[in-house]
Amino acid sequence: MSYNFKNTLVRKPGKSISHAISSMGLVPKYEIVIKEHDSYIRTLKDSGVNVISLVPLEDFPDSIFVEDPALAYRDFCIILRPGANSRFGEREVFESEAKEHFEIVFALDKGTVEGGDVLRINNHFIIGLSDRTNKDGAEDLAKKLIYLGATVEISKTPKGILHFKSECSLLDDETIFLTRRMSETKFFSKNYRTVEVPRGEEIAANSLRVNENLIIPKGFHKTQELLSKNYKIKLLDVNEISKVDAGLSCMSIRW
């Protein structure tokens, strides 16, 4: 199943996170980010996965968001090409690190793709075109995934949304949790059940299913009430990390 994992990679935040990209122009406090990230790691462990923690990269303020420069599938790792110029160098560092944990490591050759734009549903991948992921990158990634036995669709992320997964996530193999903006695209309506995020709680759309636990950001009471009817909820405070455009999925690579 799409959400059954044994391992996950995370990267400890560096003090340079105060210089990370923020669409809101906010500066997170390192001490609080560390506490939130430690809670994230504990929650992953409580969800039954082995957590591998990588060292901070002070030269790359956004490198805590380890999902963007790489994608895991089965025992393979595909090194992506981040669309933000300040993050492009992360791929070289991660390629070296990935070889210690994956049997085979591929690397994209063209365009740009960030992992936040890639939604996996079993052996099917949806790649959302965005300001960070372009057509050349999406098509190159699609070729590699198809070679590995997966199926792929390329979609378009609605304007004003940073990443495809910023406003949608997987609740189970048949159900997508999504915002009204994503719902209006009708992209998921044919093949999946959809649950719409309560108005005013759109940030909660980026929730994270890990084994039996559904991890959702703390503070979204309508979302908690809605999803707790059918899922085992774990609440996580990521208020400080979210100042630099973070979501729950982007802080780990899971396989």
Cα gap 105→73, rounded to integer Å: 10
pTM above 0.75, yes or no: yes
pLDDT digits (tens, 9 = 90+) for 51-97: 999 999 999 999 999 999 999 999 999 999 999 999 999 999 999 99
The average pLDDT across 14-33 equals 97
pLDDT for 176 beyond 90: yes
Query: φ, ψ for residue 169 (rounded to 5)?
Result: -155, 170
For domain 7-254, give the fold. Answer: L-arginine/glycine Amidinotransferase; Chain A (3.75.10)
pLDDT digits (tens, 9 = 90+) for 118-139: 999 999 999 999 999 999 999 9
* Domain range list for the chain: 7-254
pLDDT for 18 beyond 90: yes
Tell which residue, 80, 58, 62, has the closest CA to residue 70: 80
Q: Which residues contact 85 (CB under 8 A, 6 or more apart)?
A: none
Whole-angstrom Cα Rg for the chain: 17
Q: Which tops the pLDDT comparison, 111 or 189?
A: 111
The average pLDDT across 215-226 equals 98
Q: How confident is the model at residue 1 (pLDDT cuts 50, 70, 90)?
A: confident
